[in-house]
Amino acid sequence: MVTQLPQIASSKCRNPACRIALGEPCVDGRDPVESCPHYQLDADIDELDDDSTDDEESDQEDDTELDESPRNATPKVDLPSGDPLNLAGVVQFLRWRPAKFITIVGERGSGKTTLISALYEQFLDGPFADCYFAGSRTLMAFEKRSHYARAASGQPLPDTIRTSRQQGLEFFHLAVSEPASQFRRHDLMLSDRAGEDYQRAREYTPSISELIEVEKADVIVLLLDGDRLIDPEQQSVVLEHGRQLLRALLGARAIGSYTTVQVVTTKVDVIADYSEKDSLTRRMDAFKDRLQRLIGDQVGKLAFYDIAARSPNASFTPALGVDKLLHSWIDLSRHPISTPSSVIGRLHEEFDLLLTRPLVENA
């Protein structure tokens, strides 16, 4: 208790060092104060406010003191950062255990980071998609990306920090287990990169060679921005850009015949309220048919999904459709599409060797 103590209480403490009258705690730390042997029982303590708010205020003040306290100067032991993994971090991880690489591509603002953080957030509410959270090497990174969707951030509406080009390529690690299968574990590496890099790849195909996450992907997840799909002026552009990006990646042989390609329409909560929803649905169906004809036989599997990863509308199912995506990634972990020997033949980096070790062993 720090504040709101009646003045009368102070005059009843026999300890002259006690400054309880000034709103400070009992000098002996007694709480409730009547348990203090120096405190006289005839003090008027009826007005004591013991509610938790006061406790929290007190805690905050204590915390301030904590931050000001000198830290021990003895040498410390370094611990893992919990930040997103770079390529070196991924290589180190692969020495420990295999992982499936989920490469999420899409233009700026299409929802790549939101999908990643929304997937993690679901496990805070309980098991998700019949899976348990089994760990993450990038736990702090997930937390940081989820911050502006939390009430603790003070944001009036959920938001996600945009991934900048300066951040380059980052990976988020998520391990899940299946309680129905003796908690069998699956490790997923989810890539995150600024949308501008994928826009450049579509427009300048030599830059595709820099997209190492595409070549190494088990699954390519192409996001189509639902916000832009309901804009008549943007609709055709979004679909064409998506098709063009896939074509560019295939043309550069960054996507192989063993890669699963998932085309995901995001923010379907917005589409649900769109007045021309039926027309958009027909157009989307035609787009999917066309894409199937164009690239269906050139990739391991082509599939389509709809998601609303983080709808601001509370009546919408949280992370709608994300469970199906997670299921599909885990299915792939159970039944991997075999990698052609020609691909194994051009391995040269440690990353490649580690990444495909289980496949080589199975070959």
End-to-end CA distance of the chain: 68
Q: Which of 4, 153, 236, 338 binds other proteins (CB under 8 A)?
A: 153
Question: Do 112 and 267 touch, CB atoms closer than 8 A?
Answer: no
Closer to other proteins by CB, 121 or 197: give it.
121
Q: Which residues pair with 222 in a beta bridge?
A: 105, 263
Q: Which of 17, 42, 46, 156 binds other proteins (CB under 8 A)?
A: 156
Binders of other proteins among residues 195 to 254 (CB under 8 A) are none
Neighbours of 85 (CB within 10 A): 21
Q: Which of 126, 164, 342, 361 binds other proteins (CB under 8 A)?
A: 126
Between the alpha carbon of residue 348 and those of residues 115, 296, 343, the distances in Å are 32, 29, 11
* Encoded amino acid at 348, one letter: H
Q: Which of 125, 233, 273, 361 binds other proteins (CB under 8 A)?
A: 125
Closer to other proteins by CB, 124 or 286: give it.
124
Q: Does 258 contact other proteins by CB under 8 A? A: no
Rounded CA gap, 205 and 190, in Å?
A: 23
Quote the tokens at residue 253. Answer: 């042989």
Prior bond of 32 cis (ω within 30°): yes
Q: Does 273 contact other proteins by CB under 8 A? A: no
Neighbours of 75 (CB within 10 A): 6
Neighbours of 82 (CB within 10 A): 14
Binders of other proteins among residues 73 to 92 (CB under 8 A) are 74-82
Q: Which of 8, 88, 124, 363 binds other proteins (CB under 8 A)?
A: 124
Q: Which of 36, 105, 264, 322 binds other proteins (CB under 8 A)?
A: 36
* Encoded amino acid at 192, one letter: D
Quote the tokens at residue 265. Answer: 């329409």
Q: Which stretch binds other proteins (CB under 8 A): 132-140, 194-202, 223-231, 287-295?
A: 132-140
Q: Which stretch binds other proteins (CB under 8 A): 7-15, 60-68, 209-217, 287-295?
A: 60-68
State the DSSP code for 36: S
Q: Nearest approach, Cβ of 14 to other proteins (angstroms)?
A: 16
Give the binding-site size for other proteins (rule: CB under 8 A). Answer: 65
Q: Which stretch binds other proteins (CB under 8 A): 141-149, 188-196, 281-289, 293-301?
A: 141-149
Rounded CA gap, 59 and 265, in Å?
A: 45
Residues at the contact surface with other proteins, assessed by CB under 8 A: 29-32, 35-36, 50, 52, 59, 62, 65-66, 69, 71-72, 74-82, 121, 123-127, 132-137, 139-140, 143-144, 146-158, 175-177, 179, 183, 185, 310-314, 318
